[in-house]
């Protein structure tokens, strides 16, 4: 029997807070119960915002919490060539296209076309207008040759037409993994989502599905804020012929204002709590574990 594999995959673009502690500890607990493996993956494709200092902080905080994970740790920024190879397949299959509109141009276009009812993605961002998808190949080439900035976007309509497998996923009903329910994946909610940038040949979605498959991740345990992202990720898995892990999207730890914690909330940062004399046991209690 193959071992179940869990992973905690933080981005070193800020300090870990109680929400991360909950996610990491829950992965540890579920992994241990299942007699499985626990991996730590550093998701640092955003080379402008991720720093070695934040990464060092992640290791420090997780060790302090008593987490143990397999080595070596996969650091996404060291694998751009692998993501590039996958992106090239999507380009060759005409499932992505270069999208040139800046945020300002998108806003202006939407305002001109009647504005208010323009659909938004689950993060509240307006869906990408359909203009660039229709650009003739010659015009695309010209713009790229002129060094116009662009991102690779998924042609979600073509992708949906090309995906033959079932676009659903298995979601555990609770952290004991006592049952799963089948959830319909809804990638269209994101419109033509960004799959890669010109200078960084991947996006969060692409790197996650490539790595989860490559690392044999069988169980994705992460915050409920990523639940809608699972739709796009399932679609990419189908297009690339990758296996679908099972998912558990856990409750979020909320701040005193009842809102999701962010990396700028200094008072719930793990390093600050540690400095204030809070123990790992206290952290477990604080997050309800």
**Are the beta carbons of 163 and 46 closer than 8 angstroms?**
no
Count of residues in contact with ligand GLU, rule CB under 6 A: 7
Stretch that binds ligand GLU, among 9-17, 181-189, 245-253, 278-286 (CB under 6 A): 9-17
Q: Which is nearer to ligand GLU, 29 or 143 (CB)?
A: 29
44 is a site residue for ligand GLU (CB under 6 A):
no
Euclidean distance between CA atoms 186 and 184, whole angstroms: 6
Shortest distance (Å) from residue 226 CB to ligand GLU: 6
**Are the beta carbons of 229 and 257 closer than 8 angstroms?**
no
Binding mask 191-210 for ligand GLU (x = CB under 6 A): -----------------x--
Stretch that binds ligand GLU, among 8-16, 59-67, 98-106, 154-162 (CB under 6 A): 8-16
Q: Which two tokens stand for residue 2?
A: 């193959």
Q: Which is nearer to ligand GLU, 167 or 208 (CB)?
A: 208
Q: Which is nearer to ligand GLU, 188 or 222 (CB)?
A: 222
244 is a site residue for ligand GLU (CB under 6 A):
no
DSSP, residue by residue, 96-147: EEEE---HHHHHHHHHHTT-TT--B-TTSPBPPPSTGGG--HHHHHHHHHTT
Q: Exactly one of 4, 5, 6, 9 binds ligand GLU (CB under 6 A); which one?
A: 9
Long-range contacts of 27-35 (CB under 8 A, 24+ apart): 27/221, 28/67, 28/68, 29/175, 29/289, 30/6, 30/175, 30/177, 30/219, 30/221, 30/248, 31/4, 31/6, 31/219, 33/176, 34/4, 34/6, 34/177, 34/219, 35/3, 35/4
Q: Which is nearer to ligand GLU, 74 or 107 (CB)?
A: 74
222 is a site residue for ligand GLU (CB under 6 A):
yes
Euclidean distance between CA atoms 241 and 74, whole angstroms: 22
* Cα-to-chain-centroid distance, residue 131: 26
Tokens 């060094």: give the residue.
147
Q: Exactly one of 10, 14, 19, 201 binds ligand GLU (CB under 6 A); which one?
A: 10
Q: Which is nearer to ligand GLU, 98 or 245 (CB)?
A: 245
**Are the beta carbons of 39 and 220 closer than 8 angstroms?**
no
Shortest distance (Å) from residue 43 CB to ligand GLU: 4
156 is a site residue for ligand GLU (CB under 6 A):
no
Q: Which is nearer to ligand GLU, 57 or 98 (CB)?
A: 57
Q: Which residues bind ligand GLU (CB under 6 A)?
A: 9-11, 43, 208, 222, 226
């Amino acid at each position: 029997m193959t071992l179940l594999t869990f992973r905690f995959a933080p981005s070193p673009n800020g300090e870990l807070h109680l929400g991360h502690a909950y996610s990491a500890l829950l992965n540890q607990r579920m992994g241990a119960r299942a007699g499985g493996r626990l991996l730590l993956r550093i998701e640092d494709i955003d080379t402008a915002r991720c720093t070695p200092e934040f990464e060092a902080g992640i290791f420090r905080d997780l060790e302090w919490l008593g987490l143990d994970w397999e080595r070596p740790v996969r650091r996404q920024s060291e694998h751009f060539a692998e993501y590039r190879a996958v992106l090239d397949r999507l380009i060759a299959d005409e499932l992505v296209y270069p999208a040139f509109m800046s945020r300002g141009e998108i806003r202006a276009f939407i305002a001109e076309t009647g504005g208010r009812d323009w659909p938004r993605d689950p993060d509240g961002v307006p869906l990408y207008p359909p203009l660039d998808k229709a650009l003739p190949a010659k015009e695309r080439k010209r713009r790229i040759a002129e060094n116009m900035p662009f991102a690779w976007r998924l042609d979600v309509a073509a992708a949906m037409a090309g995906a033959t497998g079932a676009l659903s996923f298995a979601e555990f009903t609770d952290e004991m993994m006592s049952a799963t329910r089948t959830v319909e994946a809804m990638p269209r909610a994101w419109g033509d989502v960004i799959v890669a940038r010109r200078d960084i040949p991947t996006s969060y979605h692409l790197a996650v599905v490539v790595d989860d498959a490559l690392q044999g991740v069988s169980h994705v345990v992460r915050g409920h804020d990523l639940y809608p992202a699972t739709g796009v990720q399932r679609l990419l898995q189908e297009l690339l012929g990758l296996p679908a892990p099972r998912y558990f999207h856990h409750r979020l730890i909320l701040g005193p204002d009842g809102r999701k914690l962010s990396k700028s909330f200094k008072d719930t940062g793990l390093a600050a709590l540690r400095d204030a004399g809070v123990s790992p046991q206290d952290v477990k209690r604080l997050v309800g574990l």
